C-alpha cells in the first residue's frame, strides 16, 4: 500500500499493535502494570549499509514490513523515494492466529497470506525493510515468504532483516523500529514473543541462498542485522 501522505499512514498504522507516531523515549507500561518496556536510540550498521547501497539514487520503491510509522514515511519520502507499508505481523496474526505455528504449514493459508501481505509485481521494489518479521514464521511459511520477497525485489536490490543472535531463548523482545537518520534507529520494545525459529550465520546464508550476497552485523542488544543483496 503506497502511503503518499500523513493521513493514510496514520490510518494504516492503526491496524497494528502500536499506532503510528507513538514510539517516543522513556518507558511504556503494559496493560495491568505487569511489565515495563523501554525505548532506546542506538546506532545501526544495518540501516547505514542499507542507505549506503541506495545512495545517490532517487525515485526508488521501498517496502516497510513494520507497522506504519510517520517517522519512517517522512524519512524515506524526504530522500525522494516512494514508501509502501504492510503491517506484516498484524496480517500474520489475522491469517494464522498469534503464534499458531501449525496453521502456518497449511498451503492454502500460506497462499492467502502471501496475497494479503506481499501481492506485488515481480521486481517492483528496490529495497525492503523486513526488520525482525521473519523470526515468527514456521519453516513452510518462511520459505514461501522469502521466495516471494526475492521475487518482488529487483535484481541488485536490497533487504534489511534483523534476527536475534541468542539461539537458546524461549521468547525474544518484540520491537518496533523508527529511522532517526542514515545510521541510527529508535528501537521500542513493546512486548515479548516466542520465535518460530532462531538462526545463526550459516542458517541465514542457507535461507537466502538464492541471493547474490548476505552481510551480517552484530549489535549490543543481541540482534543480528542482515543485509541481503538480491
One-letter-per-residue 3-state SS of the chain: CECCCHHHHHHHHCCCCCCCCCCCCEEEECHHHCCEEEEEEEECHHHHHHHHHCCCCCCCEEEECCCCCHHHHHHHHHCCCEEEECCHHHHHHHHHCCCCCCHHHCHHHHHHHHHHHCCCCCCCEEEEEEECHHHHCCHHHHHHHHHHHHHHEEEEEEEEEEEECCCCCCCEEEEEEEEEECCEEEEEEEEEECCCCCCCHHHHHHHCCCCCEEEEEECCCCEEEEEEEC
Q: Give residue 55's pLDDT.
A: 86
Q: 115-136 pLDDT, tens per residue?
A: 999 999 999 999 999 999 998 8
CATH number where 131 lies? 3.40.50.150
More confident residue, 101 or 19: 101
Residue 41 lies in a domain: yes
Residue 3 lies in a domain: no
- Domain extent at residue 44: 37-229
Work out the mean pLDDT of the chain and round it to a whole number: 82
Q: 153-173 pLDDT, tens per residue?
A: 999 999 999 998 776 667 888
Q: How many domains does the chain have?
A: 1
Q: Give residue 6's pLDDT.
A: 37
Residue 17 lies in a domain: no
**What's the whole-model pTM score?**
0.82
Overall average pLDDT of the 188-193 stretch:
83
Overall average pLDDT of the 67-89 stretch:
91
Residue 65 lies in a domain: yes
Residue 151 lies in a domain: yes
Q: Give residue 167's pLDDT.
A: 65
Query: Residue 229: is its pLDDT beyond 70?
Result: yes
Residue 92 lies in a domain: yes
State percent of the chain over pLDDT 70: 81
Q: 3-33 pLDDT, tens per residue?
A: 443 333 333 333 333 323 333 333 344 444 4
Overall average pLDDT of the 199-208 stretch:
91
Residue 11 lies in a domain: no
Residue 30 lies in a domain: no
Amino acid at each position: 500500500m503506497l502511503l503518499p501522505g500523513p493521513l493514510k499512514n496514520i490510518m494504516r498504522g492503526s491496524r497494528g499493535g502500536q499506532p503510528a507516531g507513538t514510539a517516543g523515549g522513556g518507558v511504556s507500561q503494559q496493560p495491568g502494570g505487569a511489565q515495563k518496556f523501554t525505548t532506546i536510540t542506538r546506532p545501526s550498521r544495518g540501516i547505514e549499509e542499507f542507505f549506503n547501497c541506495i545512495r545517490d539514487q532517487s525515485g526508488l520503491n521501498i517496502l516497510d514490513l513494520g507497522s506504519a510509522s510517520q517517522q519512517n514515511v517522512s524519512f524515506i519520502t524526504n530522500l525522494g523515494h516512494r514508501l509502501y507499508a504492510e503491517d506484516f505481523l498484524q496480517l500474520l496474526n489475522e491469517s494464522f492466529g498469534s503464534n499458531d505455528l501449525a496453521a502456518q504449514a497449511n498451503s492454502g493459508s500460506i497462499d492467502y497470506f502471501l496475497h494479503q501481505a506481499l501481492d506485488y509485481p515481480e521486481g517492483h521494489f528496490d529495497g525492503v525493510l523486513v526488520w525482525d518479521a521473519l523470526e515468527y514464521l514456521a519453516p513452510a511459511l518462511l520459505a514461501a515468504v522469502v521466495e516471494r520477497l526475492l521475487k518482488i525485489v529487483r535484481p541488485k536490490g536490497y533487504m534489511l532483516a534483523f534476527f536475534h543472535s541468542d539461539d537458546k531463548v524461549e521468547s525474544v523482545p518484540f520491537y518496533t523500529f523508527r529511522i532517526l537518520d542514515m545510521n541510527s534507529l529508535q528501537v521500542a520494545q513493546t512486548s515479548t514473543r516466542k520465535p518460530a525459529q532462531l538462526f545463526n550465520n550459516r542458517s541465514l546464508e542457507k535461507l537466502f541462498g538464492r541471493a547474490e550476497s548476505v552481510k551480517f552485523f552484530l549489535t549490543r542488544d543481541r540482534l543480528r542485522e542482515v543485509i541481503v543483496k538480491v
